């Protein structure tokens, strides 16, 4: 569990912020909403049976590897989960598994990931994301919002 995070302030000074002030939640926090830069975090470890912890971690890792694309570079889950839907399922149902622009493509293993299959540029990855979001919205009316943050110009 995170106890506090070392944040870089707008003036460039490091500052420790306690967890209760970070508004930590499922895929959200003050770090995201305020675009804070995190330099470090202090965690509090929970004690437990070492064998049980190792088994649980191995199970999580095995499930992740079986359903997520780990063979290619990616930024992880590309789109936020729209209320009442799963982004990967919407993308798959739209027929976009494997859709590619240059070296960037929608993973066929898990359509919620845009992967760098072959030396993709940031512009190619963003083009896949934009095309996918537009097509899913055209077919379903559901708006997909990027979960990844884009920095710079493309």
Active-site residue numbers?
27, 77, 147
Strands 100-101 and 113-116: unpaired
Q: Decide: helix, strand or coil at residue 119.
A: coil
Nearest to 128 by CA among 116, 118, 137: 116
Q: Which residues contact 100 (CB under 8 A, 6 or more apart)?
A: 106, 117, 128
């Amino acid at each position: 569990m995170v106890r506090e995070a070392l944040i870089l302030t707008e003036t460039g000074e490091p500052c420790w912020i306690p967890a209760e002030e970070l508004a930590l939640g499922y895929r959200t926090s003050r770090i995201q909403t305020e675009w804070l830069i995190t330099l470090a975090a202090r965690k509090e470890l929970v004690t437990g049976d070492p064998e049980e912890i190792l088994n649980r971690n191995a199970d999580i890792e095995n499930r992740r590897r079986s359903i997520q694309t780990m063979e290619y570079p990616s930024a992880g889950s590309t789109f936020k989960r729209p209320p009442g839907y799963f982004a990967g399922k919407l993308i798959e149902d739209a027929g976009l598994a494997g859709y590619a622009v240059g070296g960037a493509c929608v993973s066929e293993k898990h359509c919620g990931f845009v992967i760098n299959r072959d030396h993709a540029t940031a512009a190619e990855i963003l083009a896949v994301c934009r095309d996918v979001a537009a097509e899913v919205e055209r077919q379903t009316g559901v708006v997909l919002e990027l979960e990844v943050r884009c920095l710079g110009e493309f």
